[in-house]
Amino acid sequence: MENFKKRLYDNELQEIEQEMELAGYSNNFIFYVSNHFKSFFENAYVENTTALRQLKYYSAIGTLTYNDYKSKSDLLEQYEDINIFFKNNSEYKKYGYLFFENVEKLEVLIIEKLFNDYALKYDYTEKELEELNK
């Protein structure tokens, strides 16, 4: 059995937050996204898997919250940052209609893209970390 990472470490989280801030995202949005990232890593450890596999599970079922209203209110609170996301990732503009048709899927798409951009590089096992530090 591999020793999976228990959480995002503080320095990793700080680096993610700095990179997102440089991309133009607000502190509230960074906090919102970081909370999802942290839960992926924590859940991955509990499930003995990786954060990416956790994210793929949510992507396959098409929701992070299992609650359409919660997803919609979360994204409405982050409206300006969603526009920044679309500006930074113009290929995702075509999914804007999902806010009205399937907001949970839109939320997953946004979090998935941001995870791949900012947090994926930290998704490793403790054994891999030991190898990196040798």
> CA-based angle 44:49:51, to the nearest 5?
50
Q: What is the pLDDT of residue 88?
A: 97
- DSSP class of residue 97? T
Stated pTM of the model = 0.87
**Strand (E) or helix (H) holding 20:** helix 10-22
Q: What is the pLDDT of residue 3?
A: 59
CA distance 87 to 124: 30
Mean pLDDT score, 42-70: 88
Mean pLDDT score, 101-125: 93
pLDDT confidence tier of residue 7, bands split at 50, 70 and 90: confident
Three-state DSSP at 39 gives helix
CA distance 17 to 26: 10
**Tokens 């607000």, located at residue:** 26
- DSSP class of residue 124? -
Q: What is the pLDDT of residue 1?
A: 41
- DSSP class of residue 125? B
Q: What is the pLDDT of residue 59?
A: 93
**52 close to 84: Cβ distance less than 8 angstroms:** no
